[in-house]
Structure 1
């Protein structure tokens, strides 16, 4: 097995497009993008709860 060249990658890419079709690949790409976006949002939400709790406590104390 030799190195992976650009021509080998192009041939594999063409075979994948012929096998699955562009519509299915576009849908798969959209689903993958949505999953990554959801994962990033969940990671950011994990870091913010302490700050949100403090802000909520301040809001409650101002209302009383």
Structure 2
């Protein structure tokens, strides 16, 4: 009573095919397969990098006299 027989699964499959149609089910299968393949490729590419990535360069405050730089704390509304 707890498990379905093969006939139950065939009836469910027939109902799904009648509702969605074979073309839509084929497209869903292709999209799902492409997503799984892309995920596997991404996991394979990201597991062992050849060299560690360089940390981003830190921004320094040596642009004090640049006319395009605005100090938000010093700017007051008049």
Q: Which runs of 5+ in 2 are unaligned?
A: 53-78
- The number of residues matched between the two structures is 52
Does 1 or 2 have the higher relative contact order (CA < 8 Å, sep 6+)? 1
Runs of 4+ in structure 1 over 3 Å off: none
- Give the TM-score taking structure 1 as reference length: 0.73
C-alpha RMSD of matched pairs (Å): 1.5
- Give the TM-score taking structure 2 as reference length: 0.61
Q: Which has the larger radius of gyration?
A: 2
Q: Which has the higher helix share?
A: 1
Q: Which runs of 5+ in 1 are unaligned?
A: 55-64
